[in-house]
């Protein structure tokens, strides 16, 4: 049944994927590489690595998900982060264009409550929890 739904999920998460694709192309033009894993386009190296190291709020992340696009610093880092990032892909499929504003709002809300805006964000808590599950049980 999911194969019927999948094209719609790509469209629903499309606005964020488009941002990811633009950054991915920038990565390719600056020496980065691309690969496809689990229906997701991954870019690493080049501008993607630079962005993850230097962009404000990202905080030297190993990887970052934008719809069906994942940016990573290195291929090895993407392997380590894949389980976590695939949870974010499923979250984009659930929330579509609402995901990024909701994510930002929840981070701000956590910060306002004196909690960690990253680790206590419910989207991150779900992704970190999935890292603890045995293989094959991710969303």
Interacting residues with Zn ion (CB under 5 A): 124, 127
Which residue number, 42 or 124, has a Cβ lying nearer to Zn ion?
124
CB-based contacts of 102, cutoff 8 Å, min separation 6: 95, 123
Residue nearest to Zn ion (CB): 127
Residue 88 CB, nearest approach to Zn ion (Å): 6
Task: Report the distance separating Cα 107 and Cα 117, nearest Å.
Answer: 4
Which residue number, 12 or 103, has a Cβ lying nearer to Zn ion?
103
Residue 7 CB, nearest approach to Zn ion (Å): 25
Which residue number, 66 or 127, has a Cβ lying nearer to Zn ion?
127
Task: Report the distance separating Cα 43 and Cα 23, nearest Å.
Answer: 9
Residue 107 burial (C-beta neighbours within 10 Å; 0-12, 13-18, 19+): buried
Residue 20 CB, nearest approach to Zn ion (Å): 14
Which residue number, 4 or 57, has a Cβ lying nearer to Zn ion?
57
């Amino acid at each position: 049944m999911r194969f019927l739904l999948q094209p719609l999920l790509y469209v629903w998460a499309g606005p964020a994927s488009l941002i990811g694709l633009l950054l991915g192309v920038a990565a390719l033009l600056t020496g980065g590489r691309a690969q496809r894993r689990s229906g997701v386009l991954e870019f690493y190296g080049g501008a993607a690595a630079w962005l993850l190291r230097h962009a404000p709020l990202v905080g030297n992340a190993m990887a970052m998900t934008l719809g069906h696009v994942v940016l990573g610093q290195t291929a090895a880092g993407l392997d380590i982060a894949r389980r976590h990032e695939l949870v974010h892909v499923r979250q984009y499929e659930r929330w579509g264009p609402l995901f990024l504003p909701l994510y930002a709002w929840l981070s701000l809300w956590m910060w306002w409550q004196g909690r960690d805006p990253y680790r206590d964000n419910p989207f991150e808590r779900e992704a970190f929890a999935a890292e603890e599950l045995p293989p094959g049980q991710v969303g």
